[in-house]
Amino acid sequence: MAEAATPKKKIEEVPEKLHVWPYLVRLEFLCALVVIIALTVWSIVIDAPLEEAANPTKTPNPSKAPWYFLGLQDILVYFDPWFAGVVAPVLIIVGLMLIPYLDVNPKGNGYYTYHERKVAIWVYCFGFLVLWIALIIMGVFLRGPGWNLFMPWQYWDPHKVVALVSVDLPYAFGFRDYTWSAIFGGTVLLAYFGIGTGAYFFLERKALKSVGFLRMFIKIQLALIMMGIVIKIVLRIGFNIKYIMVTPWISV
């Protein structure tokens, strides 16, 4: 500011600030025009679905939620409804709201960058594109009668027999007693969160002072829950494990 060094590059002559009228308003107008025309043409060509009248005595198979909730409906395969239908959506909403308060990286504010915030980009893309969008696509196109998985070329056979061979994790480890099973399952869960949290705090111990304990704690819990969903999907598909912990009140 003080010393006017000889400019290396010629400064652009275009002004940095532009009038909104006409530069933005004309863009908005054109954009609105395109969207409205597309919507109208689409609506003329494709009719909204209307099936037969609602009938509470006739349950369709499969019964599917609206398409934007099919990701949640799909994790019902791996979790009980209290988690997949209530706790998971609440965690998604609360977790999203917390993003600006957990991500204290000052870089990458107002421009596209991958290198300055790799972890943040990876976590969001994984959550959005894989756990949300990919599961929706799977739920819409690949889930058939009985919520069984069908490839696009396969016939949706309502009588498809799928062996229910899954067992609970404590059972797989030889526990046959309810109490000891519950204790074992609870220990596994506690160990997962305990070791995960401990490892994170150890690896990021230098950041503790600048980021703060509460922020780091919430961040790693949300991350562990998100990873836990993936782990449970893998355990179920790969190893036929149903629950990690079973109690008479709540099972995970």
Partner 1 sequence: MANKTPQIPSIAELMDKIKSGKIFSDIAKEITESQLWTSSFRHGYADTPRNRVLQIASNVWLHLHPVKMHRHALRIKFTWCMGGITFLLFLSTVVTGVILMFYYRPVGEYAYYDLKYLQYDVPFGMLMRNMHRWAAHAMVITVWLHMFRVFLTGSYKPPREFNWVIGVFLVTFTLLLSFTGYLLPWDQLAMWAVTVGTNMARATPFLGNEGPFAEFVGVTPRYDARSLLIGGSLVGPPALLRFYVLHCIFIPLIAGALMIVHFWRIRKDGGISGPL
What residues from 118 to 177 belong to the interface with partner 1 (CB under 8 A)?
A: 120-121, 124, 128
Q: Do 117 and 107 meet the contact criterion of CB atoms below 8 Å apart?
A: yes
Phi, psi of 79 (to 5 degrees): -135, 155
Verify binding: residue 103, partner 1, rule CB under 8 A.
Answer: yes
Verify binding: residue 49, partner 1, rule CB under 8 A.
Answer: yes
Q: Choose one: 117-125, 159-167, 178-186, 216-224; the region binding partner 1 (CB under 8 A).
A: 117-125
Identified binder of partner 1 from the candidate list 6, 10, 11, 111, rule CB under 8 A: 111
Residue closer to partner 1, measured from CB, 77 or 172: 77
Identified binder of partner 1 from the candidate list 16, 163, 165, 209, rule CB under 8 A: 16
- Smallest gap from Cβ 250 to partner 1, in A, equals 4
- Smallest gap from Cβ 94 to partner 1, in A, equals 9
Verify binding: residue 250, partner 1, rule CB under 8 A.
Answer: yes
Encoded one letter per residue, x for contact with partner 1 by CB under 8 A and - for no contact, window 62-101 reads -xxxxxxx--xx------xxx-xxxx-----x--xx-xxx
Identified binder of partner 1 from the candidate list 8, 9, 11, 51, rule CB under 8 A: 51
Identified binder of partner 1 from the candidate list 1, 53, 163, 164, rule CB under 8 A: 53
- 181, with CB counted inside 10 A (0-12, 13-18, 19+), is buried
Torsion of CA 24, 30, 35, 37, to 10 degrees: 160
Q: Do 88 and 75 meet the contact criterion of CB atoms below 8 Å apart?
A: yes
- Smallest gap from Cβ 78 to partner 1, in A, equals 15
Verify binding: residue 13, partner 1, rule CB under 8 A.
Answer: no
Q: Do 245 and 185 meet the contact criterion of CB atoms below 8 Å apart?
A: yes
